[in-house]
Structure 1
Amino acid sequence: MTIRPAVQTDLAAVLAFIRELAEYEKMAGQVVATEELLREWMFEKGAAEALIGEVDGEAVGFALFFHNFSTFQGRAGVYLEDLYVRPEYRGRGFGRAFLRRLAAIAAERGCGRLEWSCLDWNTPSIEFYRALGAVPMDDWTVYRVAGESLAGLAEGE
């Protein structure tokens, strides 16, 4: 089992993992990402990074993350957007290994925290995260503006 930074030749695998995760989360119809979009935003604009988990050279999972910023702490944090391991490789320590690597990246970069969101119904993941010492932020609600609402807000409507 190895975990390494993703490179451009991993984009097909990253997109496949995104689609598999979306299927698991019952959101497959929401995936509009393409390899071209991922290349642009990850490698040209540097908006996100990914780690690839491998077994014998085969990609079996990924973690996609980016920096956020805490005004209270006055420094960046690492936000884990997606963590996915193919079902047949779960229970082997990949999730823990990905999170350890992300924690190490955060520490190496001087970040103040590592954060992520989890769907309320995803009990196996919630239990796993709590076992690692993660604490849910029950006092916070995530808000989102997207699609037509985003366009309307941008145009002043």
Structure 2
Amino acid sequence: MSLRLRDATPDDLGLVLHFVRALADYEKLLHEVLATEEDFRSLLFGTPARAEALIAEWDGAPVGFALWYHSVSTFDGRAKLYVEDVFVNPDQRGRGIGRAIFADLARRAVAQGCSRMEWSVLDWNAPSIAFYRSIGALPREGWTLQRLGGDALAALAASGDLNG
């Protein structure tokens, strides 16, 4: 039994989409997935690439993935690695695959001079929260995620500014 983590390639676009859909299904959000393989081609392999992904393989078979990108902390003046998605097939959990993915991402973050890694988790997802605590992650107390999208995003983008 062996685990291999490898960077995703353009040949993995269908696999990335598969894992995104599997994660969304697990989170009861499959109805929100609009992404296509072409969207991931642009995101991961466009110029510039906006994100990175890895594939986890167990004995040569794909069993999970991670997708991340870099953002910044203006408070410490450094980049941070933002983990957008991590997913391991439910029948493969408990083998250390998730821990290995997070350790790999942590090594990348340290090597790239990032001050931290961050990610979000649904508040009902107790198994994932317990896992995150086991690797030393803590919630960001006092902060809530805000989102602007769809019609509200378009309306704000179309609104005039004070100089307009």
Q: Match of 1:9?
A: 11
In structure 2, C-alpha distance between the alignment counterparts of 1:9 and 1:90, rounded to whole Å: 25
Q: Match of 2:55?
A: 52
Q: Match of 1:25?
A: 27
Whichever residue aligns with residue 51 of structure 1, its letter is: L
Q: Match of 1:70?
A: 73
Q: Match of 1:42?
A: 44
In structure 1, C-alpha distance between the alignment counterparts of 2:81 and 2:15, rounded to whole Å: 22
The answer as to 2:147 corresponding to 1:144 is yes
5+ residue gaps, structure 1, are none
Q: TM-score, normalised by structure 2?
A: 0.94
In structure 1, C-alpha distance between the alignment counterparts of 2:106 and 2:123, rounded to whole Å: 23
Question: 1:15 Cα deviation (Å)?
Answer: 0.2
User: Secondary structure in 2 aligned to 1:37?
Assistant: helix
Question: 1:55 Cα deviation (Å)?
Answer: 1.3
Residue of 82, 88, 92 corresponding to 1:89: 92
Counting aligned pairs with the same residue, the percent is 52
Residue of 99, 121, 124 corresponding to 1:118: 121
Deviations for 1:92-130, whole angstroms, at most 9, x for unmatched residues? 001100000000000000111011000000000000100
5+ residue gaps, structure 2, are none
Whichever residue aligns with residue 116 of structure 1, its letter is: W
User: Secondary structure in 1 aligned to 2:82?
Assistant: strand
Determine which structure has more spread, i.e. the larger CA radius of gyration: 2
Question: 1:5 Cα deviation (Å)?
Answer: 0.8
**After the TM superposition, which segments of 4 or more aligned residues of structure 1 sit over 3 Å from their partners?**
none
Deviations for 1:109-156, whole angstroms, at most 9, x for unmatched residues? 011101100000000000010011101012100000001111111111
Question: 1:56 Cα deviation (Å)?
Answer: 2.1
Question: 1:59 Cα deviation (Å)?
Answer: 1.0
In structure 1, C-alpha distance between the alignment counterparts of 2:9 and 2:59, rounded to whole Å: 18
